[in-house]
Each structure stands twice: as C-alpha cells, then as structure tokens.
Amino acid sequence: MIDGIFEILITNQILFNQIVPTMNKLKLNLILATVVCLTGWGSIQNKLYASEQPRGMHPEKQLDFVKKQIKNKKEPYLTAFKALIIKADSALFVNQHAVEDFSIPGFYSDKEGHRKTSLALQVDGFSAYSCALAYKLTGQSKYAVKAIYFLNAWGSINKKYSQLDGSLVMSYSGTTMMMAAELLKSNKNWKSKDQEQFAWWTKNVFRHAANSIRYRNNNSGDWSRFASLLADVYLSDQDDFQKNVGMIKDELFKQIAPDGHMVEEVKRQGNGIWYTYFSLAPISASFWVIYNQTGENLYALEQNGTSLKKGLDYLLYHNQHPEDWTWFKNPVTGNENTATGFWPANLLEAMNGIYHSKEFNAFVEPYRPIVYPRHDYAWTYPTLFPLSLTGYK
C-alpha cells in the first residue's frame, strides 16, 4: 500500500515541476514528505489495529501470564488449566453440528425446541473455544486443527438465522466462535480461503444477527453489542467498533439504577436475579474488549453513584439473600449445581481481577476453578484467564 502511495506522489511531483517551474522545490518536497508520512502512519495504524494490538478477550500479556503460572505450577491456575484440557480433549471427539438455517423459536413459546436447537452452536462454539485456548497454552496443533474444523463448518454451512430467538441465541452462544477465530487468526493450519469464508460468515450472518437487535435496552442488546464488538475486532472494523462503544456508553446509566438494580431485568418475575447476571455478564465483557483494543477503562465509569460495580454488588447480595429481593418472592438463584454452570460465580470471578473485592473473592474461592460450559459465553474460564488493568504486573 505504501509503495503505491510513493508512486502516486512521485508522478504528482513530476507534474508539479512541469506546471509550476517557479515553485520552490524545497517547499514542495517538504509538503510531499509530510503527506507520505501522514498517509503511511494512517496505514500503519490500521495494521496495528488489525493484527498487533491486544486481541479481543485474550491479549498476549494475559496468555503469557497464564503460561508462566502453569509452568511454575501455581494454583489455582494449574488446576484450572487441567480443567480446560479435559474439556479440550473431549472436544477432539465431537462432530460439528452446523446448520444452514440457525432457526431458534422463542423461548417462552417453545422452551424445549429453543433449548434443543440452540445446542448446535453452543456445543460447537464451546468446543472450538476450548481447543483454541488449549492450543495457545500448549502449542499442540491437534487443538488448533480441531478448533478450525468447527470454524470452517459454521463458516461454510450456516447461511442465515431465523425465528424469534435466532439472532439472540447466535449473539450469546456464538461469541465463542469469534474468540476462537481471533486466537487462531494467524495459525498456519487455517487456510486463507477458509478464513475468507469465515470472515464472510462473521459479517453477513453472525454480526448481521447481532446488529439487528443491538438497539435493545435490555440483556438482548447487551449480548448483541458484545457479539458485534468481537466481530468488529476480527474484521478490523474500527467504525462499527466505535459505534458499539458509543451505544454501550449511552445505555449503561439507563440500565443500572443508583441502588444497583438492573431496571429492565428485575421485571422478569422469578428469574430477575438470573437476568441481572445475564445482562451484567456481556456488559462487563464488552468493557474488557474495549479496554484491550483502546485502553479506555469503562470499569471506572460512575454517574451519580451508579456504576457497574454497584450492579455487581447488588447481584451478589441478592443471590446470597434472595429473601431481600423485593421484586418477586422466591427468585431463582445460582449455585454450583446450576445446569448451565455456576452463575454468577463466573462473572464475579472475572470481575475480581478488576475490582479486587473481598466479597467477590470469598464467594468464588471455595469453588475454584470456575468453568462455565453451557448456554451463554462471556466468562467461560475466568479462573484460568484472570483480568488485569495493570498489564499483569
């Protein structure tokens, strides 16, 4: 690209010399040199964003930190690593379930059908993500090859989504596909033509689904904006990335009340605590992606006493004291036996790296390592991959 720019500028200089022979050539050369520098810098910036800056959910400093802990046999990282390898090894024997039409009925009209049809993407995405992470930590190509197998299947077979919840489930279950793809973007086993096809799927199916509902003001919008951010990182789409950032900032203080309750989620009757988790998980994960890409720390945002931390505190307290939940009697709470995985422990484990909360740590410590293997994917392996705003120092 820069070579082409130089050719254009040289041609322009010849024309200038012919047309304006009296121009001070020193001034002209200075102008041309400035243009070259500015244009070249813009190109370099784009390349940095695309390939050299921290990548989505797993910046290089995080991966390096985790590998060091495993090498030194530090806990809880070593046990958490073994838990990941168990999942990744199991995934080596899983066949892909990609479908041409990811058709998901509305949950409240067909719960069984919704759950059953969602599994195709949930199983394949979790398998791809687990294998991609295992590859990054071990360097064993069998994991990369298997992850790429799932990515290629969905990239080539899935052409659309449909029914009421197709876009939503793709947004909260397909995030693992984007995380895996970002981790393996430079892997030699992923052929360029297959990556091009996956990029087409990312733009025209996955992100299209997410962007179709990202205007929503509840958990649906939170998940779709998070999904769209991940797609933007993979596609190196700075414009759409910044649009998502703006939407997230605009919604935050409309969603979280001054006392910490989630305005839209507490309306969900007996599932209000669950939906509070289901909204805060993608919001917090979006903050992490934004921080890794831009350095902007949205975790510190506060307005009239309202903050993400206030929402997390509210969630933890009421998950431990459901009798104080004033919105509905006997609400559902999360525990270590929950079918999807232990929510909100996965979220609070991740956020402990940001806020260093004694309460968060006390809640999750007995259950480490935390693995969240089903349904929704923001914080899947939070014990193994901690967050840090200080460069893991």
Give the model's confidence band at 255: pLDDT under 50 very low, under 70 low, under 90 confident, else very high.
very high
pLDDT of residue 39: 42
Let me know whether 86 and 223 are in one domain: yes
Give the structural domain span for 331.
53-367
Domain contains 378: no
pLDDT in tens, 299-350: 999 999 999 999 999 999 999 999 999 999 999 999 999 988 999 999 999 9
Let me know whether 46 and 191 are in one domain: no
Structure tokens at 149: 């197998």
Give the model's confidence band at 393: pLDDT under 50 very low, under 70 low, under 90 confident, else very high.
confident
Say if strands 302-303 and 306-307 run parallel, antiparallel, or are unpaired: antiparallel
pLDDT in tens, 30-65: 444 444 344 443 443 443 344 444 479 999 999 999
Let me know whether 309 and 325 are in one domain: yes
CATH of the domain at 358: 1.50.10.100
Let me know whether 48 and 58 are in one domain: no
- With tokens 């409240």, the residue in question is 108
Let me know whether 310 and 211 are in one domain: yes
**CA gap 241, 224 in Å, rounded:** 12
pLDDT in tens, 264-309: 999 999 999 999 999 999 999 999 999 999 999 999 999 999 999 9
CA angle centred on 226, ends 89 and 165, rounded to 5°: 85
Let me know whether 15 and 127 are in one domain: no
Let me know whether 99 and 15 are in one domain: no
Buried b (16+ CB within 10 A) or exposed e, 23-61: eeeeeeeeebeeeeeebeeeeeeeeebeeebbbbbbbee
Structure tokens at 349: 């484990």
- With tokens 């294998």, the residue in question is 131
Domain contains 276: yes
* Type of residue at 114: H
Q: How many CB atoms lie within 10 A of CB 10?
A: 10
Residue 29: HSE in the Cβ half-sphere, 13 Å Cα cutoff: 3
Cα 119 to its chain centre, rounded Å, is: 20
- Identify the helix (H) or strand (E) that includes residue 137: helix 111-138
**CA gap 383, 84 in Å, rounded:** 11
For residues 142 and 189, is the Cβ–Cβ distance under 8 A? no
Let me know whether 209 and 347 are in one domain: yes
Let me know whether 74 and 1 are in one domain: no
Domain contains 381: no
Domain contains 309: yes
pTM more than 0.75: yes
Supply φ then ψ for residue 387, to 5 degrees.
-100, 150
Let me know whether 287 and 179 are in one domain: yes
Domain contains 377: no
- Tally of structural domains, the chain: 2
Let me know whether 163 and 20 are in one domain: no
**CA gap 238, 255 in Å, rounded:** 25
Domain contains 148: yes
Give the model's confidence band at 243: pLDDT under 50 very low, under 70 low, under 90 confident, else very high.
very high
Q: Is 254 exposed, middle or buried (0-12, 13-18, 19+ CB in 10 A)?
A: exposed
Cα-based distances in Å from 48 to 1, 55, 186, 233, 248: 15, 11, 14, 12, 24
Domain contains 134: yes
